[in-house]
Amino acid sequence: MRKTLGLFANVRPCQALTPFVESHFPAMDLVIIRENEEDLYAGIEHQQTGEVIQCLKLVSRPGCERVIRYAFEYAKAYGRKKVTCMTKDNIMKLTDGLFHRVFDEISAEYPDIETNHFIIDIGSAWLADRPEQFDVIVTLNLYGDIISDIAAQVCGSVGLCGSANVGDDFAMFEAIHGSAPDIAGKDMANPSGLLQAACMMLVHVGQPKIAEKIANAWLKTLEDGIHTSDIYSETYTRQRAGTRAFAEAVISRLGQAPSQFKPVSFNESAKPVEVHVKAMPQVEKKLVGIDVFLHWDAERRDPEVLGRRLEAIKETGLQLKMITNRGVKVYPGGLPETFCTDHWRCRFVSENSQVDAGHNAMLEAKPVSLQQVIGLLQKLEQEQFDFIKTEHLYEINGQRAYSLGQGE
């Protein structure tokens, strides 16, 4: 549904409800905006050898720009003061690096909004330990899925939070948790997440007053100590309620306002956040090499043997530059202690390219033709190598557009 309808932004507010719902962080009030269509959630996976399976991480510039611009427009519309970006671009320099780079570009258009960036691992740790420092967080799909559950649990319970899936033409609203089949139909689930999602939906379709009525009745129910098991407290719970009883308690309080929580008030003139992505100019691509992935499980998996056999392949106009196994360079100059699977990445570049043999570094990449690539694959097939995948190496607008191997 998210991908088919173009629901690119997943909006997940998390606010502490202390003291009636226990949380160590009473000032916590943040919104996580998660990219909703790309990343590893494309679900493109292949088993390539007996031992190795790959999953493709797809990140596009328009996908990054849409969700990041949405985060800034959301902050502006709802009076938020800071937007934090979270990535792992110290490792995934191209995919997560693109997201961080687009974030920096777009943030310059919003000088009144404070910005910062966290590597996702330490960012998650700070979110669990000091969530009050965050306001709006924007991040990629997988990270957003994980940290929104962390944030929801830290603020009280995963069962409390709703989410909006927003696109240009459609929107869909849901609780942040899944279907919870282990408790489905047992009158145990906390319906708060669905109620919060319903309120977000009502605001989105221009019914803020009805949303206020429901939200305030819900807060009044929590104040009155009617709680489901996931938020039970010996101090504040007066009635442990099932799903149905909790919903009926909210219904019975429609028209009432909380006395200790701040009553909810939505801006009647607010409109759904809209974003516009800039058209990208055509890029200049130059093919400068190819990574050929082999399924090779012979001769004790010795990379020296594989490297010498590949270097013996001539008359293609391409030369072997390096071999990696699970991303670690094993030829030339590998270490015998490195564990190798049956899955090998073999990088070929033009014989005319200038390579520093001592450091195995590319000094100048020369163009490669598709005919050379086809010729190489034919030679590999003649030598009975099982090539399972290829990736072209490009320079785009004069910049290297592929990752280097470790030690390259």
Q: Which of 67, 43, 75 is nearest to 56 (CA)?
A: 43
- The answer to whether residues 214 and 159 belong to one domain is yes
pLDDT at residue 311 in the model: 96
| CATH number of domain containing 21 | 3.40.718.10
Cα atoms in the 13 Å half-sphere on the side-chain side of 105: 14
362, 329 Cβ separation under 8 angstroms: no
- The answer to whether residues 161 and 68 belong to one domain is yes
| CATH number of domain containing 292 | 3.30.70.1570
Separation of first and last alpha carbons in the chain: 42
Cα atoms in the 13 Å half-sphere on the side-chain side of 88: 13
- The answer to whether residues 50 and 173 belong to one domain is yes
How far, in whole angstroms, is CA 406 from its chain's centroid? Answer: 24
Query: How many domains, in total, are found in the chain?
Result: 2
Q: Is residue 115 part of a domain?
A: yes
How is residue 269 written in tokens? 């003139």
Return d(Cα 35, Cα 42) in angstroms, integer: 12
How far, in whole angstroms, is CA 199 from its chain's centroid? Answer: 26
Q: Is residue 166 part of a domain?
A: yes
Q: How many residues does the chain have?
A: 408
pLDDT at residue 270 in the model: 77
Return d(Cα 43, Cα 109) in angstroms, integer: 33
Residue matched to tokens 């997940």: 12
- The answer to whether residues 189 and 314 belong to one domain is no
Over its C-alpha atoms, the chain yields an Rg (Å, rounded) of: 27
Q: How many other C-beta atoms can be found within 10 angstroms of the C-beta atom of residue 91?
A: 13
Q: How many other C-beta atoms can be found within 10 angstroms of the C-beta atom of residue 166?
A: 26
- The answer to whether residues 20 and 132 belong to one domain is yes
Q: Which of 222, 304, 229 is nearest to 259 (CA)?
A: 222
- The answer to whether residues 118 and 245 belong to one domain is yes
Spans in the chain with pLDDT lower than 50: none
Q: Domain range spanning residue 106?
A: 9-252
- The answer to whether residues 197 and 297 belong to one domain is no
- The answer to whether residues 139 and 194 belong to one domain is yes
- The answer to whether residues 198 and 108 belong to one domain is yes
Residue 44 corresponds to which amino acid? I
Let me know the angle formed at the C-alpha of 214 by 274 and 268, rounded to the nearest 5 degrees.
Answer: 40
Return d(Cα 192, Cα 196) in angstroms, integer: 6
How is residue 357 written in tokens? 């043999």
Cα atoms in the 13 Å half-sphere on the side-chain side of 163: 27
pLDDT at residue 408 in the model: 60
Q: Is residue 4 part of a domain?
A: no
Burial class (CB in 10 A: 0-12, 13-18, 19+), 146: middle
> What string of H, E and C letters represents the secondary structure of 76-117?
HHCCCCEEEEEECCCCCCCHHHHHHHHHHHHHCCCCCCEEEE
- The answer to whether residues 113 and 210 belong to one domain is yes
- The answer to whether residues 240 and 365 belong to one domain is no
373, 379 Cβ separation under 8 angstroms: no
- The answer to whether residues 342 and 222 belong to one domain is no
Tens digit of each residue's pLDDT (9 = 90 or more) over 126-159: 999 999 999 999 999 999 999 999 999 999 998 9
pTM of the model: 0.92
223, 260 Cβ separation under 8 angstroms: yes
How many helices and strands, by DSSP H and E, does the chain display? Answer: 9, 19
Pairing of strands 361-364, 354-356: antiparallel
